[in-house]
Amino acid sequence: MSHPLHPHPTTAPAAVPAVPGWPAATAPLTGPVELAADRPPAAAEAVVWVPGAQGQMVPVTRETADVLLSAVPATPARDLTPPPLLDARAQRLLAAGVGTGAAAAGAGWGLGQVIAPLAALTGSGLLWAVCLAAVALAARRPRTTTTYVTNTASWWGRTTTTH
């Protein structure tokens, strides 16, 4: 380091300008420091630990903690009842959609029941007529089959067959 370190600053601290609406800055505290171990046992107060500003636990006397608790407003009780799964308007819209879909499905099913036989008569009716005519023609023609077989045997197990 290029400059020596002094244990105490040689200059007085600069005055802090006052901020409007804030109390005036006071001089730093001077005098002896009283440690907790230096207190007499009769004057020892109960100490409680509370969360500090940075999240760590800080020791505070019981009287100070009571004052801090009275300064903090009480948290109102929360309503913990579960909300409905669907609000009333969504339920009405869903019911209207389901009802309309059911009506359309019913009408479509009924219409399908009426149109299906008509489609069967027109589309496959011609196919059925051709099949029935082929069966009728095949039933009228007589079936006679004549088969001639000639079997010739010779020496040494040679045999020939002709149709």
Model confidence pLDDT, tens digit, residues 144-159: 788 888 888 888 778 8
Mean pLDDT of 77-105: 81
Q: Does 4 have pLDDT greater than 60? A: no
Q: Is the dihedral of CA 77, 80, 81, 84 positive or negative?
A: positive
pLDDT at position 17 over 70 = no
Residue 119 has a pLDDT of: 73
Tally helices (H) and strands (E) across the chain. 3, 4
Prediction pTM value? 0.22
- The string of DSSP codes covering 7-45 is SS-SSPPPPPPPPTTSPPP-PPP-SPPPPGGGS-GGG--
Secondary structure of residue 58 in the 3-state scheme? strand
Instruction: State the chain's mean pLDDT as an integer.
Output: 77
Residue pair 110/104 in contact by the 8 Å Cβ criterion: no
- CB neighbourhood size of 61 (10 A): 13
Beta-bridged to residue 58, according to DSSP, are 50
